[in-house]
Amino acid sequence: MSGLCSLAVPFNRNGTVKDAIKAIHEDAMQTFAIRLKMHLESLVEEESIEDKEGDAYVVHETPRRILIIKTEGSKFAFSDYAFPGEDPQVALNVAGEVLHLPEGKMELYNELEKGRHAYYEALPDIDSSPPQDINIATSNNNILIYLAWAALILAILAYVLKQIFV
């Protein structure tokens, strides 16, 4: 499992390092819990689809975090999450309805996790061929097995010859 996750922590400049660490930790745990919950819910939905169609192999990408910032000098930020392929503009519209703010009073910041898709595309494909180190170890093990059999056969042959001629 691999991936990227971004944190967005509002913090007072007069705060201590201990407060900053606590805020970062809380934000990390909260965003991880939300993404995990959303991801698991999407897996349950897909499980019912897979039952109908048979087994299916799917690559899952967790939702990305977007920020909706209230403009006019306010430092208030509202986080939302969007699945791959979903339009972040929809999250902005929903936030406007929830916060009773017109679109012109809010700004969408969806660059928080910019490069996530490039990260996933840069991951190497899974190679089904075994590494060469394993092939070398296997051939060495085969040689040892053949030598052990040869030694066992020679020991049995020597014992039989000894019994015959002695």
CA-to-CA separations, 156 to 44, 147, 148, 149, in angstroms, rounded: 62, 14, 12, 11
Predicted TM-score of the model (pTM)? 0.47
Nearest to 35 by CA among 6, 76, 78, 56: 6
Q: Are the C-beta atoms of 23 and 11 separated by less than 8 Å?
A: yes
Structure tokens at 29: 């745990």
Q: Are the C-beta atoms of 78 and 65 separated by less than 8 Å?
A: no
Lowest mean pLDDT among 18-27, 79-88, 152-161: 79-88
Q: What is the pLDDT of residue 119?
A: 47
3-state secondary structure of 63: coil
pLDDT at 159 over 60: yes
Q: Burial code of 41-54, b = ≥16 C-beta within 10 A, e = fewer? A: eeeeeeeeeeeeee
| C-alpha span between 83 and 61 (Å, rounded) | 8
For residue 106, list its beta bridge partners.
Answer: 70
Structure tokens at 126: 């899974």
Q: What is the pLDDT of residue 136?
A: 54
Q: What is the pLDDT of residues 102-155, one digit of tens each?
A: 777 777 776 666 555 554 455 455 444 445 555 555 566 778 888 888 888 888
Only one residue has tokens 């996790």, namely: 113
Q: What is the pLDDT of residues 38-95, one digit of tens each?
A: 878 777 665 555 555 555 555 666 777 777 776 665 566 677 777 777 777 887 888 7
